[in-house]
Structures are given as structure tokens and as C-alpha cells.
């Protein structure tokens, strides 16, 4: 673990401790306040962070390290091959999951953690846009 920077470690820890990462909570609380009702649990592939039933919208909040965000991802300096294999596998799975969900009629939204930190209202709008389509 000590090969990770502090921020990478916090992404890592938030991932391990479950889906209740802070940016995700901020996003859904904002939506809740606006009157949108979502579910946290589902049997869906890829375990979306939260879903809306009508219309069917699945929202994923992706951590910048584990999902290789283009803005913040830094290749780990040690055990590079090990980490990259793991992370690339995550990314490939993300794509597969999104594709499968879309094929079964879900609208899929993936939001980077940093997008919520930088501009929460814009993220709320993206969810709203999908819900109102």
C-alpha cells in the first residue's frame, strides 16, 4: 500500500469500505433534496452506486485511481505491472458493464469522483438530464 500517494490511498480505502464514498453521498443527497428517489441496492451487473427505477437509470461514481481517470490517474511507481493489470481490468469491466446495462434498457451514467468535487451542480444536472429524457 505504501506505493500509493495519500490521495490514491484514500480512494483505495473508500473503495474497500464500500460504496459510500463521500462524493457519491453528496451527489445523491442533492438529488434527494430535489425530490428524486433512488435505490441503493440492486441485483444489477456491476453494482451501480445508485439506480432509478422509472426511467431506468444506473449511476456509477468512479474513483479516479481505480478507474483511471484521465485527469488524475498516475501510474504507480512500484509494482507497476501488478497495479496496471488490476486497474486496466477494472476499466475493461466498466465498459462491459455499461454496455450490458444499456443493452437491457438501462441509461447508464458514469461520473468521476473529481467531477463531483469540482462541480456538484453539473453532476446533478447530468443525472436530471437522463431522468427527463
Site residues (vs Zn ion, CB under 5 A): 64, 69, 71-72, 112, 114
Report in angstroms how near the CB of residue 3 gets to Zn ion at its nearest. 19
Q: Which residues pair with 110 in a beta bridge?
A: 60
Q: 35 Cβ partners below 8 Å, 6+ apart?
A: none
Rounded to whole angstroms, the Cα distance separating 96 from 29 reads 28
Residue 64's alpha-carbon distances to 36, 46, 56, 110, in angstroms, are 26, 17, 25, 12
Q: Which is nearer to Zn ion, 8 or 38 (CB)?
A: 8
Residue among 108, 101, 102, 10 nearest 63 (CA):
10
Report in angstroms how near the CB of residue 118 gets to Zn ion at its nearest. 9
Q: Which is nearer to Zn ion, 9 or 72 (CB)?
A: 72
Report in angstroms how near the CB of residue 27 gets to Zn ion at its nearest. 15
- Compute the half-sphere exposure of residue 25: CA atoms within 13 Å on the CB side of its CA: 6
Report in angstroms how near the CB of residue 64 gets to Zn ion at its nearest. 3
Q: Which is nearer to Zn ion, 38 or 112 (CB)?
A: 112
Q: Which is nearer to Zn ion, 52 or 65 (CB)?
A: 65
Amino acid at each position: 500500500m505504501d506505493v500509493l500517494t495519500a490521495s490514491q490511498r484514500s480512494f483505495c480505502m473508500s473503495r474497500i469500505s464500500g460504496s459510500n464514498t463521500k462524493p457519491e453521498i453528496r451527489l445523491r443527497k442533492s438529488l434527494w433534496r430535489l425530490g428524486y428517489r433512488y435505490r441503493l441496492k440492486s441485483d444489477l451487473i456491476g453494482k451501480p452506486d445508485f439506480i432509478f427505477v422509472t426511467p431506468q437509470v444506473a449511476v456509477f461514481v468512479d474513483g479516479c485511481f481505480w478507474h483511471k481517470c484521465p485527469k488524475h490517474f498516475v501510474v504507480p511507481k512500484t509494482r507497476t505491472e501488478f497495479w496496471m493489470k488490476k486497474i486496466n481490468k477494472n476499466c475493461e469491466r466498466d465498459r462491459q458493464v455499461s454496455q450490458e446495462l444499456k443493452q437491457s434498457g438501462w441509461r447508464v451514467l458514469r461520473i468521476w469522483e473529481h467531477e463531483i468535487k469540482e462541480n456538484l451542480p453539473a453532476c446533478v444536472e447530468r443525472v436530471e438530464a437522463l431522468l427527463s429524457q
